[in-house]
Amino acid sequence: MTEGSTATGQPAAGAADPHEAHLTRVVAIRHGETVWNAEMRMQGQLDTALSERGRWQAGRAAESLAGEGIEAIFASDLERAFDTAEALGRRLGLPVTPDTGLRERHFGVFQGSTYAEIDARWPEQAKRWRHHDPDFGADGGETLREFSARAVGTCTRIAAGQAGRSIAIVTHGGVLDCLYRAAAGIALGAPRSWELGNATINRLLYTPRGFTLVGWSDTAHLEGETLDDGSEGDPALKVGRR
């Protein structure tokens, strides 16, 4: 009989579950709203700040997660994500570890333009972006395939290094989209049917086999609608309800 287990192979009472040592609980959070989100303007890796509403959302998310047992916080170093993470860090008394691998996708020439301007100025490129072409990257930017490898690889590295713990990852809509696809086994080119609203809370588990989904797009803490601005090429929509 294995030490710490019963004759049925189950962990003995009071013994640690051996699987727990290899499991990381991940709370993934999109940054709060920015003025550019509300304007439907492509941010990419341009460094934009939270709006007043975004700061409120960050505070609400922090309060909501106060009892989650989070032990470490990791965030994109871009201001909108890092400031959202710092709101959580202040509430929990934890430092925030920045990681450039958690940055949003680099959208090259699209960055700084509204989605309508992108459609008008670069119609062929915009069509490939909106159809989730894995091998498309706007001039000067990352392809979706390159971005997904970087985003999921970074989340995997972080989660694998925190085995047995509960962590928060504060990042961007594009990173969360890639993470959802990886966890659910959905192709990069498939249409999106899941929400990526600002300051929404998403829960996953990580084991050496990869990520699995636990819960997605929790908006209860926001007391109403939050914006999914369509930065992944899909139509903008409101998340939650009043």
Active site residues: 31, 104
**Structure tokens that stand for 123 in this block:** 């119609």
C-beta separation of 211 from 179 below 8 A = yes
The DSSP result for 94-147, as a single string, is --EEE-GGGSPPP-GGGTTSBHHHHHHH-HHHHHHHHTT-TT---TTS--HHHH
Distances in whole angstroms, Cα of residue 60 to Cα of each of 13, 193, 196: 38, 25, 17
3-state secondary structure of 231: coil
Q: What is the CA radius of gyration of the chain?
A: 19
Q: What number of residues does the chain have?
A: 242
User: Where are the alpha helices (H) located in 131-232, listed in sequence order?
Assistant: 144-160, 173-184
